């Protein structure tokens, strides 16, 4: 059973966010950018114990570095927001917590948003950011890919693409919080959880997909990693809520990876709202999810990996 704090925020988010239709891409963008993500003051309040520094713009984003950190390991983080909203700043409650809990530096990518910049812009930027880390000395096994919602889909799409063409460059692991892996909207939970999900109705999935994809097929594996080749991947951890529309986006990826003899762990949290990790410090399930993710990363990333990423971070 979810905590009382989770139940409270579930009702609050339902009242403030959920609606049956979001409108065309321009109206959807305007509303999403107005209401998605926690308030700036709260995001800033969660950056204790870390230093936040903007990159130089070559790879847009920010570094989040634990105080006194000497580790060269890196979490490459992709934020959620339906591909149309949010930023590294809105997601500092997650990235700062992962930095503190894992002891890793976090590079939070500020990828360009739709509908101004449609597919495959976001995917191309994730691939460029990963290659940038490698070019600046990071070893693949010193990198973890992490993302939430749309960003979780990006993390898995990048992992699958690397597994397809750059297997020697696979990262240590990947973590995805409620990843959006099926922009074609074929999951059964879109129906069974419609009305239970605090943030979205099933119609919204197609609306956000159209804003990001335009006329591109939603089955392109760079947009929907559910349809990618998921064999031979690095270990994956998936967290999702039992009441989310995107529940089957995680369950089916989990099943596909396991069917291909891969390592995948799926943790379904009971009744929490989509994006609950952003509520770290407010609901206990957020703390549990982030702590579990950090432990998963620590256990799989090379603690003795040597790289020049700290020097790259200092130059950025």
> Could you tell me the CATH superfamily of domain 4-315?
Alpha/Beta hydrolase fold, catalytic domain (3.40.50.1820)
What are 231-257's pLDDT values in tens digits? Answer: 999 999 999 999 999 999 999 999 999
Predicted local distance difference test score (pLDDT) of residue 57: 80
* Span 135-161, average pLDDT: 97
- % of the chain with per-residue pLDDT over 90: 92
Does residue 277 have a pLDDT over 60? yes
* Span 273-296, average pLDDT: 98
Q: How many CA atoms lie within 13 A of 208 on its CB side?
A: 26
Does residue 286 have a pLDDT over 80? yes
What are 296-310's pLDDT values in tens digits? Answer: 999 999 754 444 444
Note the pTM of the prediction, 2 decimals: 0.95
Report the sign of the C-alpha dihedral through residues 189, 193, 198, 201, in that order. positive
* Span 255-264, average pLDDT: 97
Task: Tokens for 27, please give them.
Answer: 């109206």
Does residue 269 have a pLDDT over 80? yes
Predicted local distance difference test score (pLDDT) of residue 168: 86
Write out the catalytic residue numbers. 149, 244, 274
What are 173-203's pLDDT values in tens digits? Answer: 999 999 999 999 999 999 999 999 999 999 9
Predicted local distance difference test score (pLDDT) of residue 313: 52
Does residue 311 have a pLDDT over 70? no
pLDDT, greater one: 70 or 171: 171
Average pLDDT, the chain: 94
Residue 252 is classified by DSSP as: H
Instruction: Please list the residues that pair with 264 across neighbouring strands.
Output: 236
- Pairing type for strands 105-109 and 61-66 reads antiparallel
- Pairing type for strands 61-66 and 173-177 reads unpaired
């Amino acid at each position: 059973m979810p905590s009382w704090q989770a139940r409270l925020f579930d009702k609050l988010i339902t009242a403030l966010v959920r609606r049956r239709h979001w409108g065309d891409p321009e109206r959807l963008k305007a509303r999403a950018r107005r209401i998605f993500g926690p308030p700036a003051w709260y995001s800033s309040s969660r950056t204790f114990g870390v230093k936040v520094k903007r990159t130089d713009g070559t790879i847009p984003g920010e570094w989040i570095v634990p105080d006194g950190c000497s580790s060269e390991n890196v979490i490459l983080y992709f934020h959620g927001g339906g591909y149309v909203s949010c930023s590294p700043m809105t997601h500092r409650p997650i990235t700062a917590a992962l930095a503190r809990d894992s002891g890793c530096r976090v590079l939070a990518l500020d990828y360009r948003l739709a509908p101004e910049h449609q597919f495959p812009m976001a995917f191309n930027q994730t691939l460029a950011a990963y290659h940038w880390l490698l070019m600046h000395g990071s070893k693949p096994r010193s990198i973890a890919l992490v993302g939430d919602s749309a960003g979780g889909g990006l993390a898995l799409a990048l992992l699958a693409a690397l597994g397809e063409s750059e297997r020697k460059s696979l990262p240590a692991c990947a973590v995805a919080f409620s990843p959006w892996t099926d922009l074609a909207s074929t999951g059964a939970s879109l129906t069974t959880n419609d009305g239970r999900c605090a943030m979205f109705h099933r119609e919204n999935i197609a609306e956000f997909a159209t804003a990001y994809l335009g006329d591109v097929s939603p089955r392109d594996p760079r947009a929907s990693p559910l349809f990618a080749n998921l064999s031979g991947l690095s270990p994956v951890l998936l967290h999702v809520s039992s009441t989310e529309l995107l529940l089957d986006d995680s369950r089916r990826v989990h099943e596909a990876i396991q069917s291909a003899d891969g390592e995948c762990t799926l943790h379904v949290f009971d009744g929490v709202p989509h994006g609950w990790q952003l509520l770290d410090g407010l609901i206990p399930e957020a703390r549990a999810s982030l702590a579990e993710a950090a432990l998963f990363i620590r256990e799989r990333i090379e603690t003795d990996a040597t790289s020049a990423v700290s020097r790259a971070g200092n130059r950025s």
